[in-house]
């Protein structure tokens, strides 16, 4: 979707962090944006920030709990009433729950699945019909993480949900390819956001009853002030991350990354998979002949 001017984007988690970065960057590019967020305080602060930047005509805010399917459908209707046709959905809302799987409670698990994964489906069910209806094509961006590509054992639940988001995005991309609707898995590395403040939005039904530490860095994992300053150069601002998202929408990218420093780890992971699968050219040839749709996918062969 190379021409984004005057197109409308629906962005969840849109009143802070990467979501607010998307709202600003998209508006700078001439798009209209409906930014939905669960936190009233974030919406109020973001509203003032957008006004200060002179973008109020382009960006509107809605309060939305992305786990509430009926509310999501209502918000999609409201977005259409505000700006007309919706062309872009950014399923960006998520929680950064740092909890080991072995230490997690059932409530930790259910909350993470509800926000980080179920919300993706809810967004697609609410907004995709509106993109399909006008027949002009569009794009869906699902925010995963580098933790959806590489595991981090101190945050096993988060990793699980983000791996699922990558798979969800790949499957949806293949489904929608013939409808001129692109899908991207957005896998940011370090971005300067408040995602670790997620506990402030934990609903009572998922109250934290855990015992012991939530997760986080392993013992002895600490940095000097000098190293902290150097590490800061490896993080992106929300606006920098959002610029890459906008580029990915325009180029119909399958994956959108912000952190090339993870390349070595990604290569190690896929080399480990390759080694474990072995090498049998005859079986590979037969499978490609008989069941090509199961042993490969055209989305992996698309030109960059």
- Active-site residues, by number, are 158
**10/62 Cα distance (integer angstroms):** 10
Question: Torsion over CA of 161, 115, 28 and 59, rounded to 10 degrees?
Answer: 170
Distances (CA, A) of 167 to 91, 227, 303: 14, 35, 20
The tokens describing 149, both together, are: 């590509």
Report the candidate in 157, 179, 194, 145 with the shortest Cα–Cα distance to residue 252.
179
Q: Which residues neighbour 154 within 8 Å (Cβ) at sequence distance 6 or greater?
A: 98, 100, 215, 216, 217, 218
Instruction: Report the SS3 class of residue 24.
Output: helix
The secondary structure of 30-99, three-state, reads CCEEEEEECCHHHHHHHHHHHHHCCCCCCEEEEECCCCCHHHHHHHHHHHHHHHCCCCEEEECCCCCCCC
**43/20 Cα distance (integer angstroms):** 10
Strand partners, 59: 33
| Residue 172 φ then ψ, to 5° | -65, -35
**159/150 Cα distance (integer angstroms):** 8
């Amino acid at each position: 979707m190379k021409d984004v001017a005057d197109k409308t984007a629906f962005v969840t988690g849109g009143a802070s962090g990467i979501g607010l970065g998307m709202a600003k960057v998209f508006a700078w590019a001439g798009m209209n944006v409906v930014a939905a967020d669960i936190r009233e305080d974030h919406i109020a602060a973001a509203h003032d920030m957008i006004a200060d930047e002179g973008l109020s005509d382009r960006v509107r805010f809605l309060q939305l709990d992305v786990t509430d399917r009926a509310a999501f459908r209502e918000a999609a209707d409201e977005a259409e009433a505000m700006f007309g046709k919706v062309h872009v959905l950014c399923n960006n809302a998520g929680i950064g729950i740092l909890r080991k799987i072995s230490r997690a409670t059932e409530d930790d698990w259910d909350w993470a699945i509800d926000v980080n994964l179920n919300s993706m489906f809810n967004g697609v069910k609410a907004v995709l019909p509106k993109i399909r209806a006008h027949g002009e094509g569009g794009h869906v961006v699902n925010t995963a993480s580098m933790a959806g590509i590489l595991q981090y054992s101190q945050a096993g639940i988060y990793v699980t949900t983000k791996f699922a988001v990558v798979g969800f995005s790949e499957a949806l991309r293949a489904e929608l390819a013939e409808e001129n609707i692109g899908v991207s898995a957005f896998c940011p590395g370090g971005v300067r956001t408040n995602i670790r403040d997620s506990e402030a939005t934990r609903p009572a039904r998922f109250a934290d009853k855990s015992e012991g530490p939530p997760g986080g860095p392993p013992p002895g994992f600490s940095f000097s002030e000098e190293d902290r300053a150097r590490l800061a150069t490896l993080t992106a601002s929300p606006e920098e991350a959002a610029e890459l998202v906008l580029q990915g929408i325009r180029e119909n990218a399958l994956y959108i990354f912000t952190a090339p420093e993870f390349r070595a780890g990604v290569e190690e992971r896929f080399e480990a998979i390759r080694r474990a699968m072995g090498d049998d050219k005859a079986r590979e040839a037969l499978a490609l002949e008989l069941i090509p749709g199961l042993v490969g996918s055209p989305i992996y062969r698309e030109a960059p």
